[in-house]
Amino acid sequence: MPTPATRPPCVTLADARKSDAAALTRAEVEAILDVDVRTVTRGIESGEIPCLRLGRRRLVPREPFIALMSGDTTIH
């Protein structure tokens, strides 16, 4: 069982919609989708989940991710 320090933040899609943040972390996307972080990483690598690459960091742009989860294909 993960320790509190390694547990992803408890984030929901509703929280992401209300957020002012430009991007989500892999841990936040993991919590929203309720999947393992490795699944999120594979989705990013395959292009299924939009991603910004900043050095070694991988961030998921909030607006395109919300559009993806809402089935909106107009924002990419």
* pTM (predicted TM-score): 0.78
**Does residue 50 belong to any structural domain of this protein?**
yes
Q: Starting from the edge strand earliest in sequence, which strands make up the sheet with 23-24, in order?
A: 23-24, 57-61, 52-54
**Does residue 75 belong to any structural domain of this protein?**
no
Domain count, the chain: 1
pLDDT digit string (tens) for 28-39?
999 999 999 999
CATH code, domain with 25: 1.10.10
Task: Enumerate the H helices of 19-59 as residue ranges.
Answer: 26-33, 37-46
Range of the domain at 54: 13-70
Range 1-13 average pLDDT:
62
Strands 23-24 and 52-54: unpaired
pLDDT digit string (tens) for 14-64?
999 999 999 999 999 999 999 999 999 999 999 999 999 999 999 999 999
**Does residue 6 belong to any structural domain of this protein?**
no
